[in-house]
Amino acid sequence: MQEEGVDALLLSVGPDLPYFTGYEAMPLERLTMLVVPRESDAVLVVPRLEAPRVEERPEVFCVDAWDEVDDPVARVAALVDGARSVAVGDHTWARFVLAMQSALPRAQFCAASHVTAPLRAVKDADEIEALYAAARSVDEIAIEMRERPFAGRTEREVHRELMERILDVGHERVNFAIVATGPNAASPHHDPADRVIAKGDVVLCDFGGTMHGYCSDITRMFAVGEPDAEVRDAYAALRVAQEAGVQSAQVGATYEAVDAAARDVLVGAGFGDAFVHRTGHGIGMEAHEDPYVVAGNTTELVAGHAFSIEPGVYLPGRFGLRLEDIVVATADGPRRLNDAPRDLAIVA
Ligand code: ZN
Ligand code: ZN
Ligand code: ZN
């Protein structure tokens, strides 16, 4: 906070609050807010009826429960009285931010992620272990999928099976299960539909959830029967691009250099225009969080950063391909958390 010139940090719904306190606020019209003044102790302002869910940690924060007739915004404003720079949690409801701005007319507001994102980006050993456990369990699903029949089923059926398996292997929550087949896969975040999978299709499966508070995210590709030469060539280039992205993820490199390492391979293979998104995103308590592997991000990789490397090739009207692993930057080089086979699996 000192480095960023922030006098008070206000955290409401979203992952910052559980990251620092272990308490996850319910997204309610009743305000929950952790007030962290730079020069004094942290206070969790919480609705009285939610207070029993708070695990008290007096060494970290004290609890200020408000009653139905109280004005929680006035309470927060009183706690940060005189603050000139206030950082407010990125997921805070706009109505509370607007009320807070009226209550503190002389304060400048900025996004709390200026303070919290660099802290959350560096994972400690327990967090990496949690990400690894989540990655291993989606690997298991990706491996099983190689033996499953695809032809004759709809995208929605495969999507439902993936969601069920994500929970079966120990996640508490499914975050997404993209199943995009044939030409639908040219839309990177296609919503599973009633399209029936047929021989000759390529199938993109991108899925993940939250396990013990940390996210998984993997993409693997399946071909129903032998793929044609065009698909094989594009997939070969994609694999080289993904490997180049992973290998370039060295401590001290910039995120834009990692993006370029993957992108240059696809540009060289003639698929530059077909790679329409950034190479990856940070992952932790959120499926997508800082740091982003994208041109223009000159942040350097630090040991403990965890992120996806997921180049793709999208050819509208024809097909789409993506390959994704979660990687952790370490002093000994990049460590992949996913280990399911990366070839284009031929399925029935
Ligand atoms: Zn995505
Ligand atoms: Zn993904
Ligand atoms: Zn991803």
* Domains contained in the chain, CATH given: 8-120 (3.40.350.10), 122-347 (3.90.230.10)
pTM flag (> 0.85): yes
Which ligand has the minimum distance to the alpha carbon of residue 288? 3
Nearest to 330 by CA among 307, 301, 303, 306: 303
The pLDDT score that the predictor gives to residue 272 is 98
- pLDDT tens digits for 52-91? 999 999 999 999 999 999 999 999 999 999 999 999 999 9
Can you spell out the DSSP letters for 206-274?
EEEEEETTEE--EEEEEEESSPPHHHHHHHHHHHHHHHHHHHT--TT-BHHHHHHHHHHHHHHTT-GGG
**Cα 153 to middle of ligand 1, angstroms:** 23
The pLDDT score that the predictor gives to residue 161 is 98
The pLDDT score that the predictor gives to residue 275 is 98
**Cα 45 to middle of ligand 1, angstroms:** 35
The pLDDT score that the predictor gives to residue 133 is 98
**Cα 105 to middle of ligand 2, angstroms:** 42
**Cα 37 to middle of ligand 2, angstroms:** 37
Residues of the chain with pLDDT under 70: none
**Cα 97 to middle of ligand 1, angstroms:** 29
The pLDDT score that the predictor gives to residue 181 is 97
Which ligand has the minimum distance to the alpha carbon of residue 138? 2
The pLDDT score that the predictor gives to residue 291 is 97
The pLDDT score that the predictor gives to residue 68 is 97
